[in-house]
Chain A
Amino acid sequence: MRRLTTAELFKLTHRRMTWILATTLLVLTGVVYTVILIRVQNGGNPDRPDELARFTQFLSLTNVVPFGYSVTQQLVTILGIVLAGAAVGSEFGWRTVLLITAWTGARVRLVAAKLLVLALLVAAGVLLGFVASLTGSILAGLVRGSLQGSAWSSSLLPHALAGGGRTWLAVLPYVFLAGALAMLGRSTTLGVAVGLAVLFLERVVGPLVGLLGHPFDNLQNVFLYRNAGGLMQANGLLPGADSSAGMPSPVHGAVVLLLYVALFAGITFLAFMHRDLTE
């Protein structure tokens, strides 16, 4: 298992796409902070003073855990779907799945290693995104002359670590979904396209389900984005966010997300175990 995991890491870390995705994460996080900083420096919209206050709080170091991880979650989910779809689907496109399977014959461990490495890279992405957000927040504080040393309390690190764990779990089901779809369809395109479609469409379909009223509105709480949102609330409410939005509790969110992780991993295992790799 260790060798298979090392091999998976070797494959993905030697692939240019992985580094392009990591760079994209850094650049987009930087863009988010830069745009907000410019907006704040320009004084915001005079008709909406609350907006300026909210944007200012986004940049604050004291909000780096809720806001930084919120940005990271959105970006890593999208980039993680691309990574997972490509990591699984390319093996079929290049037919390297035959090479590796004929070499090892260990299908269960092959899938386990691939999923483990995807989970590790998602964790690395979350860490990278948070570091980028932290840097953005510090730089914004320096530019605005508002960097507060008091924000560096002893509780920041455990808060940040717990937030990282929650963000990782909020992203992971989407990544495993893309991997499972790529495995089922033996295609990068299918994994990425359907993974992204689920990510965006559930935010359209979910509220529509909510409009149906009781008891159907409870169905919303099986949607991934609702449970991810519920879990992410434990990182702290975003400035200006409505605490009574009816999101599932963090515990509910974590349990449902874990169930999805298990479901998508199980589908990936079953598909690979019973797949004729040679078609």
Chain B
Amino acid sequence: MAIQPARASGPAVVQTQGLTKRFGEVTTVHDLNIELRAGEVVGFLGENGSGKTTTMKLLLGLLAPTAGKVFLFGQPLATHLPQLLRRVGAIIEAPAFYPYLSGRDNLRLLAGLDGTPASHIDTVLAAVDLQGAAQRKFSTYSLGMKQRLGIAAALLRDPALIILDEPTSGLDPAGQREVRALIPRLASEGRTVFISSHIMHEVQQVCDRVAIMKAGELIAQGDVDTILATRDRLLVRVDDLGAAERLLRQLPWVVGVEREADALILDAPAPRAAEITAALAAQSLFVSELRPRERSLEAAFFALTGQEQPA
């Protein structure tokens, strides 16, 4: 099931056209067309091996596409890579830095590569609360500190586009909360944030839109609200669940009926709620509760990717 992309306003910051990457016989990304607009926070979801990280590497020019094109800020990446990357901050996989250099020296090295003012170093170290450990060697950092230094590096040159691959990985709950708070703040400054994560509630909290990958293909892309409302679900509570289930299964617009504790969960259009009540009442099955059943992004993800949701 593919959801049409929401057309956010603003210029396209990232655009891919038929982006494809093959490694030998294996197609990791197939005919990918995504578009990110200025100021958006877009979540990138998919199971392991679905092609998320490969896509991010293609956006950074770390991999050359087998077919298709990447445009950043309206310009083709293939011909303007160094110039375009100056406007991008990224963490791909685990943050990698020089282990024998301090956190501050690692940032100094990066700042020196493109003439970023050294004064930015203190700003970004403060933003990720790493000033106290800035003089320590990277090799002595905990996983969470390494991740925070990665975020600091991504912010160092005041990028217009930030690509974060699992940015809260390795962070403790407080650190995760800080990152979740940081992302909307970055977007409010007009930056575009493209973030991959396995933590669905995290994506649901911070993202405006999501793109969902499965086996290298984009299977859904749209507003978080749109993704969540892909299928209406209704919770119905009646005394005689068995009789109600038999009756509701006969209604042509009820796609599915599941039992959940002492209630039924229907896959059915929400506007038909009154008809459901009437149909049950006609058989002396009186409804004690009928309400829309909200879905989490996690449930939507599993429904869209056809995976079983873990109990």
Contact = CB atoms under 8 A, between A and B. Distances in A.
Interface in A91-144: 94-96, 98-106
Q: Which interface class (under 10, 10 to 19, 20 to 34, 35 or more) fits A? A: 20 to 34
B57 interface: yes
Contacts of A96: 96-98
B62 A277 contact: yes
Given A278-B57, A278-B63, A99 B113 contact: no
Given A96-B96, A277-B62, 17 more contacts: A3-B115, A4-B113, A11-B109, A14-B105, A15-B100, A16-B100, A94-B96, A95-B93, A95-B94, A102-B60, A102-B90, A102-B92, A105-B60, A105-B82, A106-B81, A106-B82, A278-B57
A47 interface: no
Given A7-B113, A10-B109, A98-B92, A105 B84 contact: yes
Q: Which 5 A/B pairs are nearest by Cβ-Cβ distance?
A: A95-B96, A105-B81, A105-B85, A105-B82, A102-B60
A103 B109 CA distance: 11
A105 B63 CA distance: 11
Interface of A: 3-4, 6-7, 10-11, 14-16, 94-96, 98-106, 276-278
Interface in B30-54: none
A96 B96 CA distance: 5
10 contacts: A6-B112, A7-B109, A7-B112, A10-B108, A16-B100, A101-B61, A102-B61, A102-B85, A103-B85, A104-B113
Contact of B113 (A103, A277, A278): A103
B98 A11 contact: yes
B130 interface: no
Contacts of A102: 60-62, 85, 90, 92
B101 interface: yes
A16 B60 CA distance: 32
Contacts of B109: 7, 10-11
Interface of B: 57, 60-63, 81-82, 84-85, 90, 92-101, 105, 108-110, 112-115, 153
A102 B62 CA distance: 6
B112 A10 contact: yes
Contacts of B60: 102, 105
A101 B90 CA distance: 11
Contact of B61 (A4, A7, A100, A105): A105
A112 to B, nearest CB: 13
Which of A4, A6, A14, A99 has the most chain B CB atoms inside 10 A of its CB?
A99
Contacts of A105: 60-61, 81-82, 84-85
Contacts of A103: 85, 110, 113-114
Contact of B63 (A3, A95, A106, A276): A276
Contacts of B62: 98, 101-102, 277-278
